[in-house]
C-alpha cells in the first residue's frame, strides 16, 4: 500500500503543539500570567474552579491589547517579544515563542477582554476549539482578562489523565508562588472556588517571603549579595537548621525567570559544605543576573530549563557567595569530602605471599616487600551475607521460624559498645545493636498500625511548622486521616500547622528538625494517605517509622548490659524477618563454623 503524505490542518497542528506546551491547568496559568508580567502588570488576580478543570481566569492591569492585536494573539507563532532569530540569543521577556495562547484556545473555550489606555473602548473575543466565535467591542478596564473554560474538552484522553482537584490546585499554587517570588514588585492574588489560597502584596523580596512562607522561615533568612564581572547574585539562603528532606524549597531564578538547573543546586549544596547532612537540602531564594546572550532559555517549550555558556563561572560564583554569606553570619563551613577516606574490604584466602622466583626475592628491596599486601581483598558485594548463615537461620518462613528460635545463643560481649558478639552452635554471631533495636521498634509500630491501635503521646512542647501555600491545602484534607497513624495536627495561623501528638513509640518530645522531616514525608504521600490503603501497601510508612525507630533505638556507642543484649536478640529473633533493619542494613551476620575453618585453613582442602 502506498502511503500518501498529507498536510495537517491548523487545528490538528495546534493540538499537537498544545500537548507540549499545555500539560495541565498549571501550564495555562503559567503561560497566561507570564504574558501578564510581560505586559508590565503590577497587579494580577487568578481565579480557579475545580482545580482549573472548569475555569481559569487571569485578570491583570497591564498594557492591554487593541482589537487587531487581540485577534492576532490567538494565532500560532505571533508574538510581540521578538522580531527575528537573532533575538533568541538575548531574551529578556518571559514568553517569546508565540505558541501558548494558540495552544490554549485549541483545547478550551476561551474568552478575552482587553483594552489599552489609548482606547476608550475595549475588545471581547470568544474562541472555541481554535475557532473564532465572535469579536465585538465592549466596555472593560485597562488591561486584560482571559477566561479559560473546560480545558481539554475536545481532547478527552488528555482530560482523563488530569489528576485530582487537590493535586492540580497544588501545581497551580506552586507555579504562582514561583512567579510571585520572581516579581516581588507585583501583587498576586490566587483564589480557588472563591477561597483565598495565596496573597502576595507588592513589596521587597523579604516581605514576599514573609507573606508566602511565614515569619518562621523569613527570620531564618541570610542575605546573599555578590557582584563579579557582570554576574550578579542576590537573594536569601536559610540557616542550616532549616534544611529539609526534599528539594521543594530550592527557588532559583535567572534573569527573573524561575528555572531548574543542576549546576545551581550543586553549587549551592557545595557552598553549605558539611553544615547540612548528606540527603538534606536548604531553603534558598536565589536570583542570578547575567548577560542575556550567555543564557540559553530556548531549550524546552516550558522554558524551565536553561543552559549557561560559562557554566564553571556560574558554579564558582554561587558556591563562593553561599559560603561567604554563611561565614559572615558566624558559621564555620567545612568542605564536603567527595570520596570516603577508607574503603570497606572483606578478607579471604589468607596465605603466604608468593613471589615469582628466588632470584626476584633476592633482588627485591626489603622496603618494597614490606609494602605488599599480606592478604587478598575482594569487593564486599562479591560475597552474600546468606553464605555465612547456618541453614536454620535462612529463609525465614513459618516452618523455619520454630527451628530458628531453637538456636542457642550465648552473648560473649559487646565490641566498642556497638556490636554484640555471641556464640551459637552454628558459629560466631554478630549483631549491630542499633540496627537490631531499630528493627524491633519498627515492627512494634507496624503491628500497632495493623491492629488500628496506635499508642499516642501528647507532646510536652507542641511544634509549629510553616508550610508553603501549595502544601497547606493538602494538610487540611488529611488532618483526620493522620489520626490513624498517631498524629494530631491542627491549623495554627496562616499557612502554619502545629504538631500536638505523635505515636508513643517516639517519646514525649521531638525537635524542630524531626518534625520537619515527618511533615516532608507526609506531604509527599498525601494521595496514599487519603486513599486509606492497607499498611502493607503504604510505601511511605517505612520512611516515616524509620525516623521513630532510629530516634528511639539504642545507638552505636551506648553502653548496655549483657542482659539487655540478650533480651534484644531474643526480641529480634522472634520477628518473621529479623535480618535487616528498616533501611535495609544487616542486623545480623553469622560466621558459621565451616566459614571460620576455611579462614584458618582447617578445612584440609
* Residue boundaries of the structural domains of the chain: 10-203, 207-328, 379-605
3-class secondary-structure state, position 234: strand
pLDDT at res. 602: 73
For the 379-605 domain, the top CATH level (class) is alpha beta
pLDDT at res. 87: 42
pLDDT at res. 365: 43
Residue 566 CA to residue 552 CA, distance in Å, equals: 19
pLDDT at res. 574: 87
State which fold the 10-203 domain adopts.
Answer: Heat Shock Protein 90 (3.30.565)
C-alpha grid cell, residue 92: 529578556
Q: Mean pLDDT for the chain?
A: 78
Break the chain down into helix, strand, coil percent, rounded to 5: 40, 25, 35
Residue 567 CA to residue 569 CA, distance in Å, equals: 6
- Provide the angle, in degrees to the nearest 10, between the axes of the packed helices 262-272 and 311-328: 30
Residue 508 CA to residue 526 CA, distance in Å, equals: 25
pLDDT at res. 93: 46
Neighbours of 557 (CB within 10 A): 10
Residues lower than pLDDT 50 in the chain: 1, 19, 80-93, 95-98, 340-406
What is the reported pTM? 0.69
Q: Any idea of the CA torsion for 128, 133, 134, 140, to the nearest 10 degrees?
A: -10
Q: Where are the beta strands (DSSP E) in 354-455?
A: 376-378, 409-415, 419-424, 427-432
Region of 586 on the Ramachandran plot (φ > 0 left; ψ -120 to 50 alpha; else beta): beta
State which fold the 207-328 domain adopts.
Answer: Ribosomal Protein S5; domain 2 (3.30.230)
Region of 590 on the Ramachandran plot (φ > 0 left; ψ -120 to 50 alpha; else beta): beta
Q: How far is CA 408 from CA 392, 411, 429, 566, in A?
A: 11, 10, 11, 11
Name the DSSP class of 302: T
pLDDT at res. 127: 93
- CB 565 within 8 Å of CB 420: yes
If you compute the radius of gyration of the chain from its CA atoms, what whole number of angstroms results? 31
C-alpha grid cell, residue 570: 531474643
- CB 214 within 8 Å of CB 494: yes
- CB 507 within 8 Å of CB 457: yes
pLDDT at res. 10: 63
Whether the CA torsion 91, 97, 101, 103 is positive or negative: it is: negative
Amino acid at each position: 500500500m502506498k502511503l500518501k503524505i498529507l498536510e495537517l490542518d491548523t487545528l490538528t497542528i495546534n493540538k499537537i503543539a498544545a500537548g507540549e506546551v499545555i500539560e495541565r491547568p498549571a501550564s495555562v496559568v503559567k503561560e497566561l500570567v507570564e504574558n501578564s508580567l510581560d505586559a508590565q502588570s503590577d497587579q494580577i488576580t487568578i481565579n480557579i474552579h475545580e482545580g482549573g478543570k472548569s475555569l481559569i481566569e487571569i485578570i491583570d492591569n497591564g498594557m492591554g491589547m487593541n482589537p487587531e492585536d487581540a485577534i492576532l494573539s490567538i494565532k500560532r507563532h505571533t508574538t510581540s517579544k521578538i522580531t527575528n532569530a537573532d533575538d533568541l540569543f538575548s531574551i529578556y521577556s518571559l514568553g517569546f515563542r508565540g505558541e501558548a495562547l494558540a495552544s490554549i484556545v485549541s483545547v478550551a473555550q476561551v474568552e478575552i477582554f482587553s483594552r489599552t489606555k489609548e482606547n476608550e473602548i475595549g475588545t471581547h473575543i470568544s474562541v472555541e476549539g481554535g475557532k473564532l466565535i465572535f469579536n465585538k467591542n465592549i466596555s472593560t478596564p485597562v488591561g486584560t482578562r482571559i477566561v479559560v473554560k473546560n480545558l481539554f474538552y475536545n481532547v478527552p484522553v488528555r482530560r482523563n489523565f488530569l489528576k485530582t482537584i487537590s493535586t492540580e490546585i497544588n501545581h497551580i499554587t506552586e507555579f504562582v508562588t514561583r512567579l510571585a517570588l520572581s516579581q516581588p514588585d507585583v501583587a498576586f492574588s490566587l483564589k480557588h472556588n472563591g477561597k483565598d489560597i495565596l496573597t502576595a502584596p507588592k513589596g521587597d523580596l523579604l516581605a514576599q517571603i514573609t507573606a508566602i512562607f511565614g515569619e518562621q522561615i523569613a527570620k531564618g533568612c541570610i542575605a546573599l549579595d555578590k557582584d563579579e564581572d557582570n554576574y550578579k547574585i542576590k537573594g536569601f539562603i536559610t540557616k542550616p537548621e532549616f534544611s529539609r528532606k526534599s528539594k521543594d524549597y530550592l527557588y532559583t531564578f535567572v534573569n527573573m525567570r524561575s528555572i531548574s538547573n543542576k549546576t545551581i543546586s550543586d553549587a549551592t549544596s557545595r557552598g553549605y559544605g558539611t553544615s547540612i547532612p548528606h540527603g538534606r537540602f536548604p531553603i534558598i531564594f536565589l536570583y542570578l543576573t547575567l548577560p542575556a546572550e550567555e543564557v540559553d532559555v530556548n531549550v524546552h517549550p516550558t522554558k524551565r530549563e536553561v543552559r549557561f555558556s560559562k557554566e564553571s563561572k556560574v558554579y564558582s560564583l554561587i558556591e563562593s557567595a553561599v559560603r561567604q554569606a554563611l561565614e559572615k553570619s558566624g558559621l564555620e563551613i567545612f568542605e564536603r569530602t567527595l570520596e570516603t577516606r577508607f574503603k570497606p574490604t572483606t578478607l579471604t584466602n589468607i596465605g603466604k605471599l608468593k613471589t615469582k622466583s628466588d632470584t626476584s626475592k633476592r633482588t627485591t628491596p626489603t622496603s618494597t616487600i614490606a609494602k605488599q599486601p599480606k592478604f587478598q581483598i575482594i569487593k564486599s558485594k562479591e560475597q552474600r551475607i546468606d553464605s555465612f548463615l547456618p541453614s536454620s537461620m535462612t529463609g525465614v518462613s513459618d516452618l523455619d521460624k520454630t527451628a530458628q528460635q531453637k538456636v542457642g545463643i550465648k552473648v560473649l560481649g559487646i565490641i566498642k559498645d556497638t556490636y554484640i558478639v555471641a556464640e551459637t552452635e552454628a558459629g560466631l554471631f554478630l549483631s549491630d545493636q542499633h540496627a537490631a533495636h531499630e528493627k524491633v521498634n519498627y515492627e512494634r509500630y507496624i503491628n500497632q498500625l495493623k491492629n488500628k491501635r496506635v499508642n499516642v503521646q501528647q507532646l510536652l512542647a507542641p511544634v509549629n511548622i510553616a508550610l508553603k501555600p501549595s502544601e497547606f491545602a493538602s494538610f487540611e484534607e488529611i488532618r483526620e486521616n493522620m489520626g490513624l497513624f498517631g498524629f494530631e495536627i491542627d491549623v495554627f495561623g496562616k499557612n502554619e500547622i502545629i504538631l500536638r501528638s505523635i505515636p508513643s513509640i517516639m517519646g514525649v518530645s521531638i525537635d524542630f528538625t524531626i518534625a520537619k522531616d515527618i511533615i516532608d514525608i507526609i506531604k509527599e504521600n498525601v494521595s496514599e494517605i487519603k486513599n486509606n490503603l492497607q499498611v502493607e501497601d503504604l510505601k511511605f510508612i517505612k520512611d516515616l517509622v524509620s525516623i521513630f525507630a532510629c530516634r528511639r533505638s539504642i545507638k552505636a556507642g551506648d553502653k548496655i548490659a549483657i542482659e539487655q543484649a540478650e533480651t534484644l536478640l531474643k526480641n529480634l529473633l522472634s520477628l518473621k524477618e529479623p535480618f535487616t533493619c528498616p533501611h535495609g542494613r544487616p542486623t545480623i551476620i553469622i560466621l558459621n563454623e565451616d566459614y571460620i575453618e576455611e579462614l584458618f585453613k582447617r578445612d584440609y582442602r
